[in-house]
Amino acid sequence: MKPFVYVTRQVPDAIYKRLAAKYDVEMWKEADKAVPREILLDKVSKADALLTVITDVVDEELFSRASSLKVVANMAVGIDNIDLDAASRYGVSICNTPDVLTDTTADLTFTLLLATARRVTEAAEFVKEGKWTSWAPMMLVGTDVHHKKIGIVGMGKIGTAVAKRAAGFDMDILYHNRNRHEVAEEMLGAQYRSLDGLLEEADFIVCLAPLNDDTRGLFQREHFQKMKKEAIFINASRGPIINEQALIEALEAKEIAAAGLDVFDKEPIHTDHPFLTMKNVVSLPHIGSATKETRMAMMRTCCENIEAVIDDGHPRTLVNKEVLHFD
Ligand code: GLV
């Protein structure tokens, strides 16, 4: 009997066929809706591998239903939807898709920063709504990005790639991270700051930290209050790192100037979410890695990881390395 692979979201033919050439494959076929929990729990009971996306909760209950599950290949660099400890206890390898999305996500993060500073989405709406009647000296004026200070919270691969882009805009680069990043300091002139120091000094605060127990709720009202009144806050990592209500209040109280957000506490946000009524907030639907090239590369990485684990090889991007010691 061929190993059984369950794919939790519709993937392009090329990816499906690659897996189907070797395995018995089933796929949840609704492109815009997550697989219902009961179906996922049922499928996992006979699966050798899962190809998951960030909307799937991969927890202890799910592992407890599995009898032959060896690998979960999550189509994301973030693995906050997965209980890693439980995975290791159940001997399941968890793989993510780092590297292939670094530059693409950095591009989007910098796009969001530029779009928020230069009011790009607001200006495009202005034209569409027929409000552009003339040129005016102060019409839709934004804020300069070049020669300003960017403060990157979370200087991993994507943070460093954003710093590179910032260097091209002649920005001063500040960063806060668990560990010092000597390469970024030497190559890009990045300067380490305490979190408070960064918040007080930066013109653009860019959150790129992973979501974990240390970062959940990292940004509270007091953090926004420490920022400059002209500061622009960008989040391209995970929504729950921010107390969203605190950000709303900080924007309403004009404690900061604007926000560009690709991620939210609960996704998708409702059409009546307060952010959507704020002209100084640019909201995007979690599209950091969304280019054809990168999404295909992410899915290929998932396939490689599934193939490696099922064929007793070494997955290239194993997250819970300790699984190798649980037998
Ligand atoms: C997307 O958010 C990812 O973690 O890759």
Residue identified by tokens 């076929």 is 29
Confidence at residue 175, expressed as pLDDT on a 0 to 100 scale: 98
CA dist 16 → 97, 275, 300, 303, 318 (Å): 18, 37, 10, 9, 22
Whether the per-residue pLDDT at 326 is higher than 70: the answer is no
- Fold agreement (4-100+291-310, 102-283): yes
**One-character DSSP codes across 31-99:** TTSPPPHHHHHHHHTT-SEEEE-TTS-B-HHHHHH-SS--EEEESSS--TTB-HHHHHHTT-EEE---S
CATH architecture of the domain covering 102-283: 3-Layer(aba) Sandwich (3.40)
Whether the per-residue pLDDT at 325 is higher than 80: the answer is no
Across 109-136, average pLDDT: 98
Nearest CA to ligand 1 atom 5: 76
Full-model pTM: 0.97
Whether the per-residue pLDDT at 296 is higher than 90: the answer is yes
**Mutation choice for ligand 1 from 261, 289, 298, 319, CB with most ligand atoms inside 8 A:** 289
Confidence at residue 31, expressed as pLDDT on a 0 to 100 scale: 83
Confidence at residue 32, expressed as pLDDT on a 0 to 100 scale: 87
Q: Which residues line ligand 1 (CB under 6 A)?
A: 54, 76-78, 101, 288-289
Q: What is the mean pLDDT of the chain?
A: 97
Nearest CA to ligand 1 atom 3: 76
For residue 268, whether the previous peptide bond is cis, meaning omega lies within 30 degrees of 0, is: yes
User: 77 C-alpha to center of ligand 1: Å?
Assistant: 5
Confidence at residue 313, expressed as pLDDT on a 0 to 100 scale: 82
CB 307 within 8 A of CB 49: no
Confidence at residue 278, expressed as pLDDT on a 0 to 100 scale: 98
CATH of span 4-100+291-310: 3.40.50.720
Q: How many CA atoms lie within 13 A of 307 on its CB side?
A: 13
Task: State the burial class of residue 21 (Cβ atoms within 10 Å of its Cβ: 0-12, 13-18, 19+).
Answer: exposed
Count CB-CB contacts under 10 A for residue 289: 22
Confidence at residue 324, expressed as pLDDT on a 0 to 100 scale: 80
Q: Tokens standing for 321?
A: 């390395």
The atom number, within ligand 1, closest to the CA of 96 reads 5
Q: What is the pLDDT of residues 219-246, one digit of tens each?
A: 999 999 999 999 999 999 999 999 999 9
Nearest CA to ligand 1 atom 4: 78
**Mutation choice for ligand 1 from 55, 95, 101, 211, CB with most ligand atoms inside 8 A:** 101
Nearest CA to ligand 1 atom 1: 76
Tell me the domain boundaries of the chain.
4-100+291-310, 102-283
C-alpha span between 314 and 95 (Å, rounded): 11
| Of residues 51, 83, 42, the one with CA closest to residue 70 | 51
Q: Is-catalytic flag, 286? A: yes
User: 94 C-alpha to center of ligand 1: Å?
Assistant: 15
Q: Tokens standing for 84?
A: 């890693």
The atom number, within ligand 1, closest to the CA of 78 reads 4
Whether the per-residue pLDDT at 265 is higher than 90: the answer is yes
Across 272-295, average pLDDT: 98
Residue identified by tokens 């949840």 is 28
